[in-house]
Amino acid sequence: MYRGGFLFYHSNTNNKRMSSETETRKLQTGKIFFIGSGPGNPDLITVKGATILSQAEVIITDRLCGDEIIERYANKNAITIDVGKQGGNKKSYKQEDINKLLVQFAGLYEKVVRLKGGDIAFFSNVYDELQTLHVNNIEYEIIPGITAASGASAYTGVPLTARGFASGVQLLTYYSNTVISEENWRRLAVFEETLVFYMSSNNLISIVEKLLHAGADSNMPFIVVEQATTPNQNVQSFTLQSFYENPAQIFTSPSIVIMGKVAGLHKNFTWFNNEQPSVNFFRSIEEETNYLKIKSFIQQKNTEHVN
């Protein structure tokens, strides 16, 4: 299935073939294509993103890109490497190992895709990877995708900057160790702007408490969108006070939170079936795939063939 698959599993004779091929490829300069795969629905990847995937020799993919995107659009002969991360899971791949992979494959292949969920620019750790490529003088191109906020907004019928409801929108994330000053909480609590929280559903009770403490209207609506744009999308509606009194503990990952006056428009303009059971659309990082695993590549190949 994989070009050069014998690197990891075949005999010494084939390893000699690889050594020769490696020396030839070291003379070539590969290019990394960062592609935003969109919020989950495979129909929502850009035309350019799908085109580059069909030409890729190597695809280094995140878990939340979804396997169907690769099955539908990717070059069937491409090497596909799973570098999935999952919040709180110790089996998630380390960013420094992903950085090493980018450098290694850019020295071996001409067209390497780094496939990321959503859009490249939003909460994607792209800074670390761009820094790595810059330091190693590796060429790259960035192909944007639909970020989760846009996908969730469209598929719930919630216009994030509706006139008369919000003067703008803020894209945020909040972890247990995130430091936001009391002054900033008071500013957010006014809700002049729509607040969209990425990767924050596990800390939602803390967000609600801080907003209420900062003076937010207890009847301010918000929605939690689980697995936005996928067939398993599920939307739950709350007010700050209702959630504070009866906090939901678990939301299916990935979830995105839309807070503000516009969230009350969901019931008026919803068009997509938003009441699917909370069944995982995306696989966990423990599930087996046909993709290569990063650690097997580094341990078996790195010392002999790659500096």
Q: Is 26 helix (H, G, I), strand (E, B) or coil?
A: coil
Residue 172's beta-bridge partner residues?
Answer: 197
* Domain annotation for the chain: domains and CATH numbers: 6-146+282-305 (3.40.1010.10), 158-269 (3.30.950.10)
The single residue of 62, 67, 82, 119 carrying the catalytic annotation is 62
Question: How confident is the model over 219-275, as pLDDT tens digits?
Answer: 999 999 999 999 999 999 999 999 999 987 789 989 999 999 999 999 999 999 877
Q: Is 217 a catalytic residue?
A: no
For all residues of the chain together, what is the average pLDDT? Answer: 84
Please tell me the chain's helix, strand, coil percentages from 3-state DSSP, rounded to the nearest 5.
40, 20, 45
Asked whether the beta carbons of 153 and 258 are under 8 A apart, the reply is yes
Question: Is 151 in contact with 41 (CB distance < 8 Å)?
Answer: yes
Contact 57, 75 (CB under 8 A): yes
Which is more confident, 64 or 142? 142
Give the pLDDT confidence score for residue 300 in this predicted structure: 37
User: Pick the catalytic residue: 31, 85, 261, 267?
Assistant: 85
User: Is pLDDT of 22 > 70?
Assistant: no
- Binned at pLDDT 50, 70 and 90, residue 293 comes out as low
Which residue, 37, 140, 16, 80, is CA-closest to 292? 80
Residue 142 confidence (pLDDT): 98
pTM comes to 0.82
Q: Please confirm, yes or no, whether 62 is among the known catalytic residues.
A: yes
Look at residue 305 in the predicted model and tell me its pLDDT: 40
Q: Which of 75-84, 176-185, 211-220, 293-302 has the lowest mean pLDDT?
A: 293-302
- Residue 227: both structure tokens together: 């697995």
Token pair of 172 as six digits: 């945020």
Query: What six digits make up the tokens of 292?
Result: 């290569």
